[in-house]
């Protein structure tokens, strides 16, 4: 017994397991669009539109593998006052700040970087030296960037804690590099947001 669907204008038949038997060209396009949409949802954080943790880790690991000899950095970035913002102004303002922060980080780190939302208000990034600028100089520029969101006539400032670890100087494995960058980020938080390199 088979089941038929006429959603594309072509008959699409399914066997009992729900597998496609035959499909017209329009149906293939729709199926491809659906798969692409599912892949996007599987890889990207829906709020910030950057990679989610799993996809970011996979992409960074691949970059570290392919570019193991090239100078780069793993960066951990945290919005340090997101809890206060959520409690004082509401989660909708906190969400706006998360979106704005992701765009600000992307803009400063450049197209050749990898950026992901690690968890909550924390991001992880991979960045290489580019255009004659060292990775650490690009990161410090991010630390100096103005961080404010305007919403309904109000301006909401937010702060970053930023820690980074250079590679291959301090290693080539993401787990180790991320742990070192995280320790530097914790020091940054304690120091009031100063950009700190893992030594």
- Over residues 143-196, the pLDDT tens digits come to 999 899 999 999 999 999 999 999 999 999 999 999 999 999 999 999 998 899
Using DSSP bridges, classify how beta strands 160-167 and 196-197 pair: parallel, antiparallel or unpaired. parallel
User: Do residues 150 and 117 both lie within one domain?
Assistant: yes
pLDDT of res. 10 = 37
- Residue 90: inside a domain: yes
**Between vectors from CA 50 to CA 74 and to CA 134, what angle results, nearest 5°?**
30
pLDDT of res. 3 = 33
Flag whether pLDDT at 14 surpasses 50: no
Instruction: Give the CATH number for residue 117.
Output: 3.30.70.270
* Whether the predicted model's global pTM rises above the 0.95 cut: no
pLDDT of res. 111 = 86
Cis, peptide link before residue 168, omega less than 30° from 0: yes
Question: Which phi and psi (to 5°) does residue 18 adopt?
Answer: 90, 10
- Residue 12: inside a domain: yes
pLDDT of res. 33 = 61
State how far the Cα of 187 lies from the Cα of 161, in Å rounded to an integer.
8
For tokens 């829906």, name the residue: 46
Does residue 98 or residue 15 have the better pLDDT?
98
**pLDDT-derived band of residue 199, with 50, 70 and 90 as boundaries?**
confident
Domain range holding 169? 53-197
- Residue 34: inside a domain: yes
pLDDT of res. 100 = 96
């Amino acid at each position: 017994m088979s089941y038929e669907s006429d959603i594309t204008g072509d008959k699409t038949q399914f066997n009992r397991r729900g597998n496609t038997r035959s499909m017209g060209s329009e149906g293939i396009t729709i199926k491809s669009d659906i798969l692409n949409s599912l892949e996007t949802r599987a890889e990207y954080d829906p709020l910030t539109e950057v990679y989610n943790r799993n996809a970011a880790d996979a992409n960074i690991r691949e970059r570290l593998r392919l570019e193991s000899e090239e100078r780069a950095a793993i960066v951990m970035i945290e919005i340090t006052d997101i809890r206060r913002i959520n409690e004082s102004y509401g989660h909708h303002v906190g969400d706006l700040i998360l979106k704005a922060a992701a765009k600000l980080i992307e803009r400063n780190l450049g197209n050749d970087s990898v950026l992901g939302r690690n968890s909550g208000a924390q991001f992880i990034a991979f960045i290489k030296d580019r255009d004659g600028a060292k990775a650490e100089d690009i990161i410090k520029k991010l630390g100096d960037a103005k961080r404010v969101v305007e919403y309904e006539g109000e301006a909401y400032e937010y702060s970053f804690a930023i820690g980074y670890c250079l590679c291959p100087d301090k290693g080539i494995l993401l787990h180790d590099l991320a742990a070192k960058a995280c320790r530097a980020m914790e020091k940054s938080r304690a120091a009031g947001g100063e950009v700190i390199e893992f030594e």
